[in-house]
Structures are given as structure tokens and as C-alpha cells.
Structure 1
Amino acid sequence: MKSKIVVINGHPDSQSFCTALSEAYAEGASASVNRVETRTIDLSKLDFELNLKYGYRQRTELEKDLIEAQKLISWADHLVFVYPTWWGAMPAILKGFVDRVFLPGFAFKYRENSSLWDKLLKGKSAHLIVTMDTPSWYNRWIYRRAGHNVMKRNILQFCGITPVRVTEIGPVKPSSPELRAKWLNKVKALGSKLA
């Protein structure tokens, strides 16, 4: 049976280092000796309204790109999110994507007359590949990995996706071309190992 992987590039700039990391992961997974199918979702190329304008009070119709994204997420066994940390969390485009795609009835469902919910994306795993300019130790001990925890616990695990691994890449801003090449090779190897 083939593994089915969807790599989601959550950076709004198609020329970003996150794009290169996304491509490296997909390349590593596709080149694996294991049976694997890889698809990608590049948020910089999607056309959708970022805001869930009415919350859950009124339905906001999904654009064609988001309907296709839901199909790919349903199809996948494993989701890989590649994105930068800005102001301690994911960029607005990725938060908007989550708000619009991980909807009740698709990702979770509240139980009637209960504070409990059903996790509709069970059976999937995820890997977060997160670039940062903050040193890893500072993110861990001072910020308590707040952005990672939101994505891992409050979003993905809330919907039943587990386990969720996190790989930090950085600090990116002062990095040399040689260090970036090492990071690309590391992410490519992660893709080939998982696949």
C-alpha cells in the first residue's frame, strides 16, 4: 500500500526559503524506495478569502482551491506543513487557510448537548517544518514554543491528527548559503525517511 503525503507550503511568497524546503521534502519523499505518492498545496498560488467572515454563524462558501485542498487532505495519510514563524506564530495566509478549510463537519464535529467533539481527521499524522529567526533555545524557554503548540495541539490534534512532529530550521536570517544547503538536504532526507 502506498503512503500518501501532502506537503503544504504556508509561506505567502513563492520565492521563499520555505518554498525550497517544501520542494526538498517532496523530492525526498518521491525519490524514496518505499511506495509513496506526494501532492503539494502552495498557499501562495491559491485564490481564497483569508477571513472566515461570519465565524460559524453563517456559512462562507468554499472557493474551488479550498475544495481541492480538502480533497487532498482527506486523501492523505500524512500532512507536512512548511511555514515561517512570524510574531511567534504562523503567517496570516496559513491561519486563514486553517480557518477556512478545517471546518466543522470536515475536520471535527461538536456533539449535540455536549462540550465534547468528534475528531474527523483521525488516522493521519503530521510534520511541521518551521523556519525561525529566533534561536531554538529562546523559542523553547522564553516563548514556550507557543506557535508550535497552537498548530500541534489546538489545531491538528484537536482534529485527530497524531502524532505531530516538529522540526525547527533557523535562525534563517543570518544563515549562510552553505547552512541553507545543509538544511535543504536535511529536509530532503526527512522526506525520504518518512516515505
Structure 2
Amino acid sequence: MKVVIIFNHPYEGSYCNAILKSTLLGLQIANHQVDVIHLDKENFNPVMRSEDLRAFINKNPIDEKVIEFGDRLKDAEHLIFIFPIWWELMPALMKGFIDKVIFPGVAYDYVNASNTKMKPLWDKVKGITVITTMNTPSILYNWIFGNAIQKALLRGTFWKLGYKNRKWISLNRVKMVSPEKRKKWLTNIESNFSKLK
């Protein structure tokens, strides 16, 4: 299976980087073909410019990185997004990826002339896994802050595109839990991806 990981964390010593390593180990055990789009190392500009929006109308992206990422994603069978949650949201590079790469003519097209129903162009994708870290307790994130990742990404973007198999692994209170718990999370992630089919 071809798996594409979209990763965003600028600090090499971060727990997200440890998650990436465990994910890769699990996928290697399962003999999957893996491509990592490391947004912090790919010279990707997340800013949507006026010329990008003009291109949006024509379904013809002009950003070379968007075109490259689209090519790398077109044969993907599973997508994995790994990023931290900062101030209840994803970092700018990940948001820019969603804004600029989930683009008509790249990630999806419209089914009808009224541009209301979408169909995915990454039509080999069987599943999407989102893995996030944060220091906020899950009860606060869900009930006080409104769970923006679930609403915007899993039930918003990926649901609208028609992907049914969507999974979110939310690791909460990362700085507060014991080192043993953090190690257990990493072991579980490696184990889960070693069984990915």
C-alpha cells in the first residue's frame, strides 16, 4: 500500500517527531511504501495569495509545491496527518496545506454544475488517520473550546470530500503525563500501523 504522511512540526526534539518515527517503524514492519511530506522542510509557502485564488476558479494551481504535492498524493491509498494543536488549532503550515493542496483539480472536483457536491480525485485513498498532540485536557478541548480539529478537518474537509474511513488519534496533556505513558502511546502507534491493511 502507498501511504503518504503529511507532517508539521518544526522542532526535531518534539513528541510529534517521536510519533513520526513510531509511525514509520510500524509502516515498515507492514512493508508499505511511504512518502513523507515534511512541511517544515519542503519550502512550502502556506499563504493563499490572490493569484492562487484566481487559479482556484480555473482548477489549475500555479504554486509549484502544490502541483508537486498533488502528484505525490494522487496514488496514495492511506493518508496520515501528524501535527500539534496550538491554541486549539493546527499550525499555519498544516492549515496552508489544507487551504492550498485540497484544491479543485488537485484533490477534488465538483459532481454538478452548481459546485455543491464534491468527488475526491485522490480516489485510491481507503482511509485517513489524523494524529495530534496537545496539552489541553480532552474534556476542555471537546466541551469548552469546541473541538475545532474534529469539526473542521474530519467532519468538515474529509467528510465533504467523501472519505468514509476517518480516524483521529488525539494525544492529550502530553507534557503532563508520565514518560511511561508517552512511551506506551508510541508503542501503540507503531503496533497500529504495523497492522494497517
Q: TM-score, normalised by structure 2?
A: 0.86
Partners of 1:12 and 1:44 within 8 A in 2: yes
1:56 aligns with 2:53: yes
What's 1:96 paired with?
96
Residues 156-165 or 41-50, more deviating:
156-165
1:85-164 aligned at under 5 Å gives the runs: 85-110=85-110, 111-124=112-125, 125-164=127-166
What is the deviation of 1:105?
0.8
Structure 1 stretches of at least 4 aligned residues deviating more than 4 Å after TM superposition: none
Question: AA paired with 1:43?
Answer: L
- Hey, what's the Cα distance between the residues in 1 that align with 2:191 and 2:184? 11
1:133 match: secondary structure? coil
2:195 match: secondary structure? helix
For the aligned residue pairs, the C-alpha RMSD in angstroms reads 2.0
Q: Can you list the C-alpha shifts for 1:78-97, whole angstroms capped at 9, x where unaligned?
A: 00111111121211110011
CA 1:114–1:176 in structure 2 vs 1: closer, same or farther (change >3 Å)?
closer
Q: How many residues align?
A: 190
1:66 match: secondary structure? helix
What's 2:29 paired with?
31
What is the deviation of 1:123?
4.2
What percent identity do the matched residue pairs reach? 32
Question: AA paired with 1:93?
Answer: L
Q: Can you list the C-alpha shifts for 1:83-120, whole angstroms capped at 9, x where unaligned?
A: 11112121111001121211111112233235333332
CA 1:128–1:158 in structure 2 vs 1: closer, same or farther (change >3 Å)?
same
- Hey, what's the Cα distance between the residues in 2 that align with 1:113 and 1:42? 35
Partners of 1:122 and 1:160 within 8 A in 2: no
1:126 match: secondary structure? strand
Partners of 2:5 and 2:82 within 8 A in 1: yes
Q: TM-score, normalised by structure 1?
A: 0.86
What's 2:178 paired with?
176
> Structure 2: which 5+ residue stretches go unaligned?
none
Residues 125-134 or 48-57, more deviating:
48-57
Residues 159-168 or 113-122, more deviating:
113-122
Partners of 2:133 and 2:174 within 8 A in 1: yes
1:118 match: secondary structure? strand
